[in-house]
Chains A and B, each alone.
Chain A
Amino acid sequence: MADKNEVDVIDGKQLQDKYLREEMMPHIFCNGCGLGNVLDYVLWAVEKEGLDLDKTVFLSGIGCSSRIPGYINADALHTTHGRALAFATGVKMANPDLNVIVFTGDGDCIGIGGNHFIHALRRNLDITVIAVNNYIYGMTGGQVAPTTPEGHIGTTAPYGNIEPPFDMCEMAKAAGATYVARWPVFRPHQPINSIREGIRNKGLSFIEMMSPCTTAYGRRNRFRKIEDLWAFYEDKTILIEEYDKIDRFGTEEEKEELDDKIKIGVFKRSTRKPLEERYRDLLEEFK
């Protein structure tokens, strides 16, 4: 991975001035929410990759995370709940010259949008998907999501969630994404690098961002303060390289501890011709 500009040529304030829509401020995110971090990381990645915002479309479904494109000064399609990837398929297939970046929430992506998610992965269009996982339905006030850990409280699981949670990255890997990564929001460098790599990857890149939601999730699950959630994620996560090492060479006790961990890092890098390129080949046959 070759870094084009290792040195930041602009600072945070200049980044905001360059990319944000002032008219949309103040934003709707709660104190302590990780969505601001996600937005910031995406903008840094866009800046460092030198993406032309006149040729970039941001799409999203419905939810707190899906409000992100509204703050970016670019073409954007804020669609219906769960359907952003189906809309994105139309955008990219109709004009493959456009850069396409999709924001989605965990409920949006793997709950109501699960079917579109699988098929977008299978098609492997050259798009970048940022799935913000706050382990809950945030916008509607904290109902249990398909990602909520077992035993955790949601407003519709007041006695604790009895369903096993979904791992979106496992699905992304299995169904055909060509780049898959997961990072918590509390450190900027790895997420920014992953988003950059995702933008560069010719195919569907899936990046899951673990993002704290104190309002709808933390509060009910004994993470009253934002620091508590950050500490929980810090404790829960393990780098994939570390995980693999313990899995192969670790003691029994060390291995047992793995059961409880959430793997983070880059899970998959591969190459597969994106759908729009396959369609281009088909069109060539009729020229």
Chain B
Amino acid sequence: MFWDDKMTTDLEKVKEVLGPKKQFVHGDTAVCYGALLAGCDFYGGYPITPASEIAEMIASLMPKVGGVNIQMEDEIASMASIIGASWTGAKVMTATSGPGFSLMQENIGFAYMSETPAVVVNVQRSGPSTGQPTLGAEGDMMQARYGSHGDYQSITLSPNTIQETLEFTIKAFNLAEEYRSPVFLMISADLGHMREMITIPDEVDLVYRKTPKVPPEEYVPFGKGKYGKEKVPEFAPFGTGYRTYVTGLTHNEFGFPATDDQQDHDKLIRRQIEKITDDREKLTDIEERMMDDAEIALVSYGIASRSALGALKIARDQGKKVGYFRLKTIWPFPKKKINELSQKVDKIVVPEMNTGHVYHRVKEYADCEVKLVSKIGGEIISPKEILEEV
């Protein structure tokens, strides 16, 4: 793949390596399958429960598709290696869990500042610190939003089935390329280790970052995009003669340090944020069930949304007017949709596998009563616990 032929993906070869079209696999495997289908050329990682299976499967699959896999010395280095690789034009990924995600944060900030496409998968376990290494949680949702320092806008996806984990991994790569940004795929350990039937798609829509078509003298590496989104500049991979200076310092549109000027910083960071928030509606992805006559909405995501679905069925059987409203994109937050929802229902219930990361955001934009059902400690929230608020 990458070593021979840059910025293309041999989908037939990948499908041949992945094997049967229908397979019974766990979420960590689905991440690897999705990555290869998306054209991942480079993986740099460091083992950690419950994400180690991703590193292991990538190690076995990558050479078969001609891609690069390297186990780095820690997660700081993992994140660094994928950014370095991305600047050669490679599609890149790393995967980790809470402790490693924390170590990656400084270089994640560098990826935002340098507008480097990269996919970071976090198979979440209970924290803080070493916490409950083998048990699931969704306690890193705010770290995915605000984990690094300074101002930036995160794109974060949260699937709730194994099939969706595969599809969202592909989507994460496409969004990273489209917006020149890190993209987070957040699953809980429960999803990482749970098995379901998946179908490997025949066709995959693949996005590649736009490269400059002008000669090097006319190329403005951090200026206006010419062929795609205006706020997403074209990307010239290292070695293609464009001679780009990439720095984590505040820089002007030519990439040169501009650390003393308030306006340079303001202009740069606001463009980087707006390139994503301008598309908030487009990035919003919501699954609704039985919302037409609902008086109470269960706003959920990730593993907790599976229990919310159970709660929905029980409540409807009991004749209660409950609806299901699942967030598939967490960040940028679908604030308009949440506000519209709160005009329609009397109450919103937010079940979460943390102490209320998304609940507070819902409260911020909802005009109705909002209740949190919080569970931590590694046991999945039950439909019964959710129903107590209904």
B264 interfacial contact with A, CB 8 Å: no
Interchain CB contact (< 8 A) of A79 among B73, B82, B245, B248 = B248
Chain B positions within 8 Å of A279 at CB level: 68
Contact (Cβ within 8 A) B238 A95: yes
Contact (Cβ within 8 A) B63 A286: yes
Mark each residue of chain B from 230 to 258: 1 if its CB lies under 8 Å from any CB of chain A, else 0.
Answer: 00000000111111111111000010110
Chain A positions within 8 Å of B134 at CB level: none
A98 interfacial contact with B, CB 8 Å: yes
Known: A86-B76, A98-B88, A283-B3. A77 touches B44 (CB 8 A): no
Q: In the complex, how many angstroms separate the beta carbon of B70 from the nearest chain A beta carbon?
A: 6
Interchain CB contact (< 8 A) of B241 among A54, A79, A97, A285 = A54
User: Which of A35-43, A68-76, A208-216, A241-249 lies at the binding interface?
Assistant: A68-76
C-alpha gap A75/B89 in the complex (Å): 13
C-alpha gap A286/B64 in the complex (Å): 6
Tell me which of A24, A91, A95 has the highest count of chain B C-beta atoms within 10 A of its own C-beta: A95
Chain B positions within 8 Å of A91 at CB level: 84-85, 87-88, 238
Chain A positions within 8 Å of B82 at CB level: 90
Chain A positions within 8 Å of B70 at CB level: 89-90, 93
Q: In the complex, how many angstroms separate the beta carbon of A5 from the nearest chain B beta carbon?
A: 24
Interchain CB contact (< 8 A) of B110 among A23, A80, A286 = A80
Contact (Cβ within 8 A) B73 A119: yes
A101 interfacial contact with B, CB 8 Å: no
What count of chain A residues pass the 8 Å CB interface test? 41
Contact (Cβ within 8 A) B72 A89: yes
Tell me the nearest residue of chain A to B4, going by C-beta: A283
Mark each residue of chain A from 57 to 85: 1 if its CB lies under 8 Å from any CB of chain B, else 0.
Answer: 10100000000011001111111100100
Which residues of A, 86-131, contact B by the 8 Å Cβ criterion? 86-91, 93-98, 115-116, 118-119
Chain B positions within 8 Å of A280 at CB level: 3
Which residues of B, 1-23, contact A by the 8 Å Cβ criterion? 2-3
Contact (Cβ within 8 A) A86 B238: no
Chain B positions within 8 Å of A94 at CB level: 2, 41-42, 68, 84-86, 88, 90, 92
Q: In the complex, how many angstroms separate the beta carbon of B116 from the nearest chain A beta carbon?
A: 10
Contact (Cβ within 8 A) A116 B88: no
Chain A positions within 8 Å of B239 at CB level: 54-55, 57, 75, 95, 97-98
Which residues of B, 92-118, contact A by the 8 Å Cβ criterion? 92, 106-107, 110, 114
Chain B positions within 8 Å of A96 at CB level: 3
Tell me the nearest residue of chain A to B247, going by C-beta: A78
A10 interfacial contact with B, CB 8 Å: no
C-alpha gap A70/B252 in the complex (Å): 13
Chain A residues in the interface with B (C-beta under 8 A): 21, 23-24, 53-55, 57, 59, 69-70, 73-80, 83, 86-91, 93-98, 115-116, 118-119, 279-280, 282-283, 285-286
Q: What 5 additional pairs, Cβ within 8 angstroms, besides A83-B77, A86-B76, A90-B80?
A: A57-B87, A78-B247, A80-B110, A97-B239, A119-B72
26 contacts between A and B (CB under 8 A): A23-B256, A59-B84, A69-B245, A77-B238, A79-B80, A79-B83, A80-B80, A83-B107, A86-B72, A86-B76, A86-B80, A87-B81, A87-B83, A88-B84, A89-B72, A90-B81, A91-B85, A91-B238, A94-B68, A94-B85, A94-B86, A94-B90, A95-B89, A97-B239, A115-B74, A119-B77
